[in-house]
Amino acid sequence: MADVQRLLDHDDRVKEAVSHSHESFRDARIRAAFAIAPVLGPVMTKASLAEVKVPVRIIVGSKDDQAFPDVNARPIASAIPNAEIEIIPNVTHYTFLARCNLWGKVVARSLCADPDEIDREEVHRRVSVDALKFFNRTLQR
C-alpha cells in the first residue's frame, strides 16, 4: 500500500488515470459479458458494479490462487444486478489458459500444472459450451 500511495502522490500518469476513475466507461456495443477468473475485484466499487446493466456470467476455479474467488468473483457477482457465477471445483487460475506444449511445461511449469483430477481440455470444453449457451440466451433479439 505504501507503493500505491507513493504513486498516487507523485506519479503524474497515475494521478491522471485516477482523475478519470469516476467517469463511465459504458460501451453500448457490449450487450453481455462472460468473465473468466476476473481479478482486481477490490478496486471496483459496489456502486460502479451496480450500474452494470448487461447480463454478466462469471466463471472461476475454486482453487484459483491468483484471482481468489472470495476476493474477486464472488464480490463482483454479488454487486452486479442479476450476475451469474459458477465456481468450478478444484480448478486453478491457469487452467483456463491454453494447453501447454512440452516447452511450456518445462519453462512455465506453474502456468501448465493442473491438479491431478483436472483435465484442462475438458474444462475448456465445459466453459466454451457454457459461454455459448449464455450468449445464445442473453443476446437473442
pLDDT in tens, 104-135: 888 998 899 899 999 999 999 999 999 999 99
The string of pLDDT tens digits covering residues 71-90 is 999 999 999 999 999 999 99
The string of pLDDT tens digits covering residues 10-46 is 999 988 988 888 888 889 999 999 999 999 898 899 9
The string of pLDDT tens digits covering residues 92-103 is 999 999 999 889
Domain boundaries in the chain? 31-138
3, pLDDT greater than 90: no
Q: Is 39 helix (H, G, I), strand (E, B) or coil?
A: coil
How buried is residue 119: exposed, middle or buried, by Cβ count under 10 Å (0-12/13-18/19+)?
Answer: exposed
DSSP per-residue codes, 61-130:
ETT-SSS-TTTTHHHHHHHSTT-EEEEETT--GGGGSPPP-HHHHHHSHHHH---TT--HHHHHHHHHHH
For the segment 51-77, the average pLDDT, to the nearest whole number, is 96
pLDDT: is 5 or 82 the higher one?
A: 82
Q: What is the model's pTM? A: 0.84
How far is it, in rounded angstroms, from Cα 12 to Cα 44?
22
pLDDT confidence of residue 110: 87
141, pLDDT greater than 80: no
How far is it, in rounded angstroms, from Cα 72 to Cα 75?
6
How far is it, in rounded angstroms, from Cα 38 to Cα 57?
11
